[in-house]
A and B are shown apart, each in its own frame.
Chain A
Amino acid sequence: MLDKLKELGSSIGLNPADWSEQDIEEQKLGWYPGHPTPDDPLRWGRTFPEGARETLQNTQMRRNLGYATGKIRTKRNTRVEELPDWEELREAGSLIKRNTLAHLPELLETFEQKVTERGGIVHWARDAAEANEIAYSIIAAKGVDEVVKVKSMATQEINLNSYLEERGIEAWETDLAEMIVQLSHDMPSHIVVPAIHRNRSEVKAIFEARMEGRPRFATNEPRELAMAARAHLRKKFLSAKVAISGANLGVAETGTLAVYESEGNGRMCLTLPETLITVMGIEKIVPSYRDIEVFSQLLPRSATGERMNPYTSFWTGVTEGDGPQEFHLILLDNGRTNVMKDEVGREALKCIRCAACMNICPVYRVSGGHAYNSVYPGPIGAILTPQLLNATDRKDPATSLPFASTLCGACYDVCPVKINIPEILVHLRHTITEANRGGLPNAWDVAMKGTSSVMSSGKKMERAGNAMKAGRLAAGRDRKIGHIPLPVAKEWTGTRDVPAPPATSFRTWWNDEHEETK
């Protein structure tokens, strides 16, 4: 039976050797091992097709993901429909961010000045290494060996936790999902719900194995698990001397920073420790305080489908007697100025990291965040990652990302700041294709071909389905070989031509097919 299974697996381009290893690992752990921390969180060194080939095998993950993204989408739609002026808000959000880019040097200088006037200390970091160094030197000067952290994409992007760990400083993620990811030595697979690929049983297994004191749980109820996290982190909050956060926006006019969150872990980190270090991408600036009214409506509804997230904190420098008395702000470039150079592609810098585009993307929803081999997955990752890295060479796996899309246009429709992601995808495909004219096909082309052969032929799709059945029988569980349920092969593998965006028919088809997830 196993031989038969391996044969079937090989026939659809899977590598049986890989999954048997993972299977052993998973049996040992009690959860799917996920993805270990890479050296460069922006580029894990694999192409999208290679990443997808691995994640597509994980049926459990796909089930978790399908359920969760479906639920967020429904909530998001309800909350957006409540607002009669949603389109006007999107337009304002888009224009505010464009203006930010148009005036970025002046806005950054004003912002720095305002933060400084209020007792904050501003640092500038050209790249990840420089940002990490600055953060480390501040922490080292405090003589502490642990810090608490608010979930932040900027610090994920620069791999700050690993950098600190190598220097003997433990950085505790305090967002529940980030904590699950951290404890399981995994990478986040979504930018708002990083542990979206985990179900409650996996979380229970992770906590029992890795949480301090190795707790035992009577059930796998989310409440019981969340309360264990509360007890575990409360001690950290009360004792931590230094906290690290990102920022959802920074107001140039006043020097004010904002963090939007739900759990209160953000407020704990931003308020209780004596020193706060905030790492913020230079594009996160908005010009005026009033702009808060736009993003405070767009972000929560797009991100978690809530009218408002439970907690939002605004602070400006330091306030005597309230909150940290030492505040450091690290302004991060790390490739953002590369993105600015591209007239079409720079629109990606408007992104407010709400993840709505991920939740709706048919490719993300079956392949999962890890397939993108970057901390920025989904449609926004597909356009942002290669641009941050200035990747155009076909040998660079990041150049496979703009091809990981059906161009159905759904991401553009949901984006609260109106980033025309399909247009940028097509533009980047064109740029990459042009930059690689001529020469021999490399591993990437071959990998694309492999995926293409699975997904372009009905017969092979059927065989993939059969392999899944065989997998159930052989392994006694159903998560090893995934069927590939998407008619997207042509676009995924359109490596040579620049396809025109199709009409809306795909999306209509998708909605009809997936009524049950609504």
Chain B
Amino acid sequence: MNAKQEILNRIRAAGQIPAHDTARDYLCGTEASRSDIIADMVAALEDYTAIVTIVPPAGVGDAIDEMLSEAATVVVPPGLDESWRDAAGRHGRAVRIDDPPLSKADLDATDAVVTASRVGVSLSGTIILDGQPDQGRRAISLVPDTHVIVLDADDIKATVPEAVAIVEEHPLRPTTWIAGPSATSDIELVRVDGVHGPRNLRVIIVDQTLDR
């Protein structure tokens, strides 16, 4: 008998196990106001040592420029908003478009990355990327030292269930949840940022309701 059959037989031989309906009595949404949700998101991200700014749509370029001030080279996904890409290239910064895909060594030699994002969760300060052309493949937001994420304020949900409902529309996309920069607490539980992934996380929240 092959291993699969044998394992399935063993499970069945273990006897009937009663099923239960899954009660989902936990919170799925909240009554929180939009401004509270944004404020919670900022607080949770800052708690994870991310640098956060809130700007009107017209301010994204300047914010990107500022967040990249220490970078000399930047990788961007092929579908990134053109004006954002231009902002990444200000002050002579070299912009590398990940199309055709950069080699691992090239990525390793790149200081920063700018991506868009799919959805955020204010309750836990999490931002979710699902690999669409404005976010790029997973490696580009992993290898460079600084990750600048642009997040639309309207894409910030209060709770995890609300965010999962959105990513669930495309469950097969490779999806990365990010909460703060890479961190370890493995030595005496002292938090050290930037062990393997990006050492710096910078978030630009775009609020459509703000005027310039």
Binding site for B on A (CB under 8 A): 64, 67-68, 71-72, 84-85, 88-89, 91-92, 95-96, 98-99, 101-105, 108-109, 112, 118, 123-126, 130, 174-177, 180, 193, 195, 198-200, 203, 222-223, 225-227, 229-230, 233-234, 237-238, 251, 253-254, 256, 262-265, 267-268, 270-272, 282, 289-294, 296-297, 300, 304, 306-317, 319, 321-323, 331, 333, 337, 340-341, 343, 346
Contacts and interface: CB of A to CB of B under 8 A. Distances in A.
B102 interface: no
11 contacts: A124-B4, A176-B195, A193-B185, A195-B187, A256-B171, A262-B184, A268-B196, A306-B179, A313-B174, A321-B101, A323-B138
Given A108-B11, A333-B10, 6 more contacts: A126-B6, A199-B188, A223-B190, A226-B192, A267-B196, A291-B22
A124 B174 contact: no
B188 A222 contact: yes
Contact of B174 (A310, A319, A333): A319
A225 B190 CA distance: 11
Contacts, number: 251
Given A64-B188, A96-B22, A125-B3, A264 B182 contact: yes
Nearest to A251: B171
A225 B184 CA distance: 11
A314 B6 CA distance: 29
A513 B148 CA distance: 47
Contacts of B194: 230
B195 A226 contact: yes
Given A264-B195, A314-B174, A337-B14, A67 B105 contact: no
Contacts of A199: 188
A105 B11 contact: yes
B138 A293 contact: no
B50 to A, nearest CB: 10
Nearest to A316: B172
B186 interface: yes
Contact of B125 (A101, A308, A317, A343): A308
Contact of B186 (A193, A319, A343): A193
B186 A176 contact: yes
Interface residues of B, number: 73
A263 B177 contact: no
Nearest to A313: B176
B44 A124 contact: no
Given A323-B138, A340-B14, A264 B188 contact: no
Nearest 10 CB-CB pairings of A with B:
A264-B197, A337-B10, A264-B182, A340-B14, A322-B137, A177-B186, A308-B179, A102-B19, A264-B196, A312-B177
B39 interface: no
Given A92-B22, A271-B142, A174 B164 contact: no
Interface stretch (B24-32, B60-68, B88-96): B24-32
Contact of A256 (B24, B48, B163, B172): B172
A175 B171 CA distance: 27
B25 A98 contact: no
Q: Is the interface of B mostly helix, strand, loop or mixed?
A: loop
Given A200-B187, A238-B104, A333-B10, A311 B178 contact: yes
Interface in B1-29: 2-4, 6-8, 10-15, 17-27
Given A267-B197, A337-B14, A262 B139 contact: no
B48 A222 contact: no
A310 B139 contact: no
Contacts of B21: 95
A271 B184 contact: no
Contacts of B171: 251, 253-254, 256, 289, 316
B183 interface: yes
Contact of B183 (A125, A174, A262, A290): A262
B126 interface: yes
A112 B7 CA distance: 13
A310 B183 contact: yes
B179 A293 contact: no
Contacts of B8: 105, 108-109
B108 interface: yes
Nearest to B163: A293
A233 B108 contact: no
A322 B174 CA distance: 8
Contacts of B27: 84-85, 88
A84 B25 CA distance: 11
A340 B11 contact: yes
Interface in B107-149: 108, 121, 123-126, 131, 137-139, 142-143
Nearest to B180: A310
B185 A310 contact: no
Contact of A293 (B104, B137, B160, B183): B160
Given A105-B8, A267-B138, A223 B177 contact: no
B131 A310 contact: no
A188 to B, nearest CB: 11
Nearest to A294: B26
Interface in B156-183: 160-161, 163-165, 168, 171-183
